[in-house]
With several copies, the nearest count.
Chain A
Amino acid sequence: MTDRHVFPPLAMYAEGLACGRAGMALCQDLNFSVLSGQCLLLRGPNGTGKTTLLLTLAGIVPPLAGSWTAQGPQDEPAPVHYCGHRNAIKPRLTVLENLLFWRQVNGATGVSAEAALVEVGLGGLEDLDAGYLSAGQGRRLALARLRVSLRPLWLLDEPTAALDVEGHGLVTRLIEGHLRMGGLVIVATHDPIHLSHPAPVQTLTLENRA
């Protein structure tokens, strides 16, 4: 983490939030508030609605009840970045082109695309067509996008999927760095995540409604 840019204070509140698919509630009556520098871990068995909750917070799936706000400094909604199961990579563009595009469209951070690639372990692959990346490499490219997009609020859905052991460490480092800059992370994962300062971590466990 090279840049010491710090996000203005922001917060994510949910009040009595119920979310679900096709009118059917998966999780109900959720209340949480996550502040700058804090991380919310979503846990729970398969099919309990973690992905659905993240998509709801990203504004893709409408909530069934209750409300949520992602509050930025001037009371305007803070921009989110959803990093889901699919990597949003164009196979015919090179690795670098893929990243540069998102950097321009999302509003660049101080981090250059090349630096971000080195950070996620794809240094030297800039000119490779992204279609040739393996499952784990593709995931790393998706993680690099987080570093070059000016997004205080990260919504991560199983970021460690397909990553090797070293990659798990990378995800932890990325999350820690983002928290240190005053960012806010909500992450759904089945893998253990050990931050070095466990204080700012809340855990929300979704249950199977039998």
Chain B
Amino acid sequence: MSIQSTPKQSWWNRIAHPGQFVAWSAPWLWPLAVLTALLFAMGLWLAFIDSPQDYQMGHTVRIMYVHVPNAWLSQFVYGVMALSALGTLVWRHPMADVSMKAAAPLGALFTALALFTGALWGRPTWGTFWEWDGRMTSTLVLLFIYLGIIALWRAFDDQLRAARIVAVFTLVGAINIPIIKFSVDWWSTLHQPASVFRADGPRMPPSILAPLFVMFAAFTLLFLALHLKSMHTEIKRRRIATLQRKAAQGHTA
């Protein structure tokens, strides 16, 4: 039996230090970026060249390849944020609040894009840009929540201090989002007979599924890459704030 004299640092502890986190994760950035670009190229090729039009929706089905990944990310990113919030409050991981902050604008943008592409899809298929359909409406509310969180971050003078408070709010939001989703569904079905847009949708043939999944992967990797990069930037920004404040004391008379 051997006893390790120096306890081996787990990756969890290693990335707990901002500098080490950057050092540990920086090598991932380029491969991620390249892979993302490749996937996008492939996805676009599949989406435009190599896939047929849908028998019902015609060519507009191609909007789906950007709409659905964005819609998925809009929810996934909130999950990332909620998990980071837990990390901030419960495990007190120093990188968790950086992750939480970096994710918010990304999530907001993906949500906005889901709405945008959905609206452009709605016009040719239902003849309107916007319908108060349950799913669309709850996506809109999600966008408001994202924007509220961003406004909250920006409103704090001191980002380090803001983190745990924003985390509390993010978690409250995470509990509330299912309630919102349920109530919005209830609301729109109460007033409207079956929506034009059925939840299950038509069963999709593989020729549609393939580009969908590739785009899916591409957008997810895009998120991961951007998330990592903004985390690095955020770490540097905090270092700047610290240095500036250090100057504050060094110079007092």
Contacts and interface: CB of A to CB of B under 8 A. Distances in A.
Direct contact of A and B (CB under 8 A): yes
Interface of A: 21-24, 26, 45-48, 91-92, 120-125, 127-129, 131-133, 137, 140, 166-167, 170, 208-210
A22 B242 contact: yes
Contacts of A24: 242, 245-246
Contact of A209 (B160, B241, B245, B249): B249
Interface in B190-246: 238, 241-242, 244-246
B112 to A, nearest CB: 27
Top 3 A-B pairs ranked by shortest CB distance? A121-B253, A124-B251, A47-B252
Contact of A125 (B160, B161, B248): B248
A125 B242 contact: no
A121 B244 contact: no
A48 B248 CA distance: 10
A47 to B, nearest CB: 4
Contacts of A125: 247-248, 251-252
A210 B250 contact: yes
Contacts of A26: 249
Please indicate which of the listed interface residues A45, A92, A132 has the most CB atoms of chain B within 10 Å of its own CB: A132
A132 to B, nearest CB: 6
B252 A48 contact: yes
Contacts of A170: 253
A137 B252 contact: yes
B253 A166 contact: yes
B158 interface: yes
Nearest to A136: B252
B88 to A, nearest CB: 13
Given A121-B252, A137-B252, A166-B253, A22 B241 contact: yes
Given A22-B242, A46-B252, A47-B252, A131 B247 contact: no
A133 B241 CA distance: 14
Contacts of A210: 250
A122 B157 contact: no
Contacts of B242: 22-24
Nearest to B238: A23
Interface in B156-214: 157-158, 160-161
Given A22-B160, A48-B249, 6 more contacts: A23-B242, A24-B242, A48-B252, A121-B253, A132-B157, A170-B253
Given A23-B160, A92-B157, A128 B244 contact: yes
Contact of B247 (A91, A128, A208): A128
A91 B244 CA distance: 15
Contact of A91 (B157, B238, B249): B157
A92 B251 CA distance: 20
B250 A124 contact: yes
A47 B251 CA distance: 10
Contacts of B249: 26, 47-48, 208-209
Contact of A22 (B158, B252, B253): B158
A87 B228 CA distance: 42
B252 A21 contact: no
A26 B241 CA distance: 15
A171 to B, nearest CB: 13
5 contacts: A120-B253, A122-B251, A123-B251, A124-B251, A208-B249
A137 B253 CA distance: 9
A129 B251 contact: no
Nearest to A121: B253
A29 B246 CA distance: 18
Nearest to A129: B157
A77 B160 CA distance: 28
A133 B249 CA distance: 10
Contacts of B247: 124-125, 127-128
